[in-house]
């Protein structure tokens, strides 16, 4: 049976190590942080990921999975070494590859048998070629070392499932032996139907960043449409539903709102822009700069509207903001480049009182934004709040009692920046419910809609009586509301 080392035991590495043990391999996880290695050795996962603590602790108890800090030990132990270290952004947006090189420098000179090194970290295209040259310099005489690239496609909150049941496996290889070894590692999911794409190293590297850039583009596209919906009185949620029925488009990642964040999409979009520039092909991905700009603009939109609601007689805001959510997405405590936390920090910097509640991310959020006040419950966060912001789409927030919270809050304004709350119970409880690019109808049937604006270059006007009737119909907001209600009832 092949033995496996997983080097770097952060979010990706710890999950991958537990997954490899679940697939039946003896696994050694290695990290340069002794405290992290010690915690994992006790079966403790230092971050929030559903299902992972049980999986990891179970295999630690059986001895199939263990953790340490020695790359020399890993070199003597494993036949296959998975590289799962971070590639954080540098000041220019390009990926910092120093951790990968440090691992190779500490691992390869101590290898005692032929082996396969497999990169899982997200890297710029061309990295594997440079690492191959470095391995050739460091490998002991008589030791054959192959390098492969096997990018990860984990979704935070679903990482255990995605490791054990991947929706695709990408093997970037340079030899049949490397492909054979990876097929042995993943024999169980392959037998269960996971498709395999075998390709060269540059393609494997580019697949991951391309996937994330495409997902980011979908999110920014629907958010750009949300901005247009706000101007025209259209409803972005119904627009996205209609687009999603087209199987060439799909409904996933068409949720308009506050935009994307986390440790992957923002970093990978900017790294791809930087790498394309290094290759002299920057103009090919210029559109990604707009994708990034649209995403950041969504945060500014929420901050601006909140400050407008809080504006006092002077220049600074007067009032309190209750924030629901700090993590960049639900089922995670990850606050890296979190839109929710960014909005909260900006409001605090502008002078607002800000109190935050998150079901899982309070600790990580407090570590990087200690200037905010953190509450133990949603009700405590909303106590005497003038404005409430729904910034992370946790299921718990959809289950809150708007009637009770209306008695707790002071101002009664809520901005659903994720477009996932049902407006009806909030409106019925007396809330002033606002959303991004979404029509919100009050219990009386009237709608809070930005008035329709005339197009910049109108087409030919209807003639005579038809033209007058068209003008009256557009001017009659009540008729417009009744028409929209009939359309919805028959949908």
Catalytic residues: 264
List Cβ neighbours of 278 (8 Å cut-off, separation of 6 or more): 94, 124
Cα 139 to Cα 152: distance, rounded to the nearest angstrom: 26
With beta carbons less than 8 A apart as the criterion, state whether 231 and 453 touch. yes
State the CB neighbour count (10 A cutoff) for residue 168.
12
Tokens, residue 370: 């200690």
Burial of 78 (0-12, 13-18, 19+ CB in 10 A): buried
Q: What is the DSSP string of 377-426?
A: SHHHHTTT-SEEEE-S--HHHHT--HHHHHHH-SS-EEEETTS-S-HHHH
Q: Measured in Å, how far apart are the chain's first and last C-alpha atoms? A: 57
Cα 341 to Cα 43: distance, rounded to the nearest angstrom: 29
With beta carbons less than 8 A apart as the criterion, state whether 382 and 405 touch. yes
Cα 236 to Cα 437: distance, rounded to the nearest angstrom: 5
Residue reference for tokens 């679940």: 22
Cα 490 to Cα 483: distance, rounded to the nearest angstrom: 11
Query: Which bin fits 188, alpha (ψ -120 to 50), beta or left (φ > 0)?
Result: alpha
Cα 4 to Cα 151: distance, rounded to the nearest angstrom: 17
With beta carbons less than 8 A apart as the criterion, state whether 3 and 26 touch. yes
Burial of 9 (0-12, 13-18, 19+ CB in 10 A): buried
Strands (E), 430-472: 432-435, 440-441, 447-448
Q: DSSP label at 315?
A: S
305-311 own/partner pairs: CB under 8 Å, 24+ apart? 305/415, 305/434, 306/343, 306/347, 306/352, 306/387, 306/389, 306/415, 307/347, 307/350, 307/352, 309/386, 309/387, 309/411, 309/413, 310/352, 310/386, 310/387
With beta carbons less than 8 A apart as the criterion, state whether 392 and 259 touch. no
Number of helical (H) and strand (E) elements in the chain, helices listed first: 21, 16
Starting at the earlier edge strand, list the strands of the sheet with 115-119. 65-68, 26-30, 3-7, 80-83, 115-119, 145-149, 169-172, 196-199
């Amino acid at each position: 049976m092949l033995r496996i080392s997983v080097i770097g035991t952060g979010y990706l590495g710890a999950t991958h190590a537990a997954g490899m043990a679940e697939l039946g391999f003896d696994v050694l996880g290695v990290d340069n942080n002794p405290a992290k290695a010690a915690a994992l050795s006790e079966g403790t996962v230092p971050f929030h990921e559903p299902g992972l603590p049980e999986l990891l602790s179970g295999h630690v108890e059986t001895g199939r999975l263990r953790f340490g800090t020695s790359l020399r030990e890993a070199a003597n132990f494993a036949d296959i070494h998975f590289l799962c270290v971070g590639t954080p952004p540098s000041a220019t947006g390009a990926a910092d590859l120093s951790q990968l090189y440090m691992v190779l420098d500490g691992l390869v000179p101590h290898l005692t048998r032929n082996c396969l090194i497999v990169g899982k970290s997200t890297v710029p295209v061309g990295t594997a070629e440079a690492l191959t040259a470095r391995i050739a310099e460091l490998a002991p005489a008589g030791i054959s070392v192959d390098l492969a690239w096997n990018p990860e496609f984990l979704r935070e909150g679903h990482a255990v499932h995605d490791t054990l049941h991947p929706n695709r496996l990408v093997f970037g290889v340079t030899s049949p032996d490397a492909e054979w070894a990876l097929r042995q590692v993943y024999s169980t999911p392959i037998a269960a139907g996971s498709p395999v794409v075998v390709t060269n190293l540059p393609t494997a590297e580019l697949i991951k960043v391309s996937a994330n850039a495409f997902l980011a583009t979908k999110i920014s596209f629907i958010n750009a449409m949300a901005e247009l919906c706000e101007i025209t009185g259209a409803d972005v949620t119904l627009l996205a539903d209609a687009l999603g029925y087209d199987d060439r488009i799909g409904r996933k990642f068409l949720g308009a709102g506050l935009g994307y964040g986390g440790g992957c999409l923002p970093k990978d979009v900017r790294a791809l822009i930087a790498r394309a520039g290094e290759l002299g092909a920057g103009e090919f991905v210029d559109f990604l700069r707009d994708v990034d700009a649209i995403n950041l603009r969504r945060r500014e939109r929420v901050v601006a509207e909140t400050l407008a609601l809080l504006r006092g007689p002077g220049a600074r805001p007067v009032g309190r903001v209750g924030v629901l959510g700090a993590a960049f997405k639900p089922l995670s405590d990850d606050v890296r480049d979190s839109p929710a936390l960014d909005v909260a920090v900006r409001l605090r910097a502008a002078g607002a009182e800000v109190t935050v509640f998150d079901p899982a991310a309070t600790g990580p959020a407090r570590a990087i934004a200690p200037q905010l006040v953190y509450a133990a419950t949603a009700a405590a966060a909303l106590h005497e709040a003038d404005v409430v912001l729904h910034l992370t789409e946790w299921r718990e927030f959809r289950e809150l009692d708007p009637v009770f919270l209306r008695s707790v809050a002071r101002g009664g304004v809520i901005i659903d920046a994720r477009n996932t709350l049902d407006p009806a119970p909030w409106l019925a409880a007396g809330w002033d419910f606002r959303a991004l690019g979404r029509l919100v109808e009050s219990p009386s049937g009237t709608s809070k809609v930005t008035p329709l604006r005339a197009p910049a270059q109108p087409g030919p006007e209807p003639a005579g009586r038809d033209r007058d009737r068209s003008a009256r119909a557009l001017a009659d907001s009540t008729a417009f509301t009744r028409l929209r209600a009939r359309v919805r009832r028959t949908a």
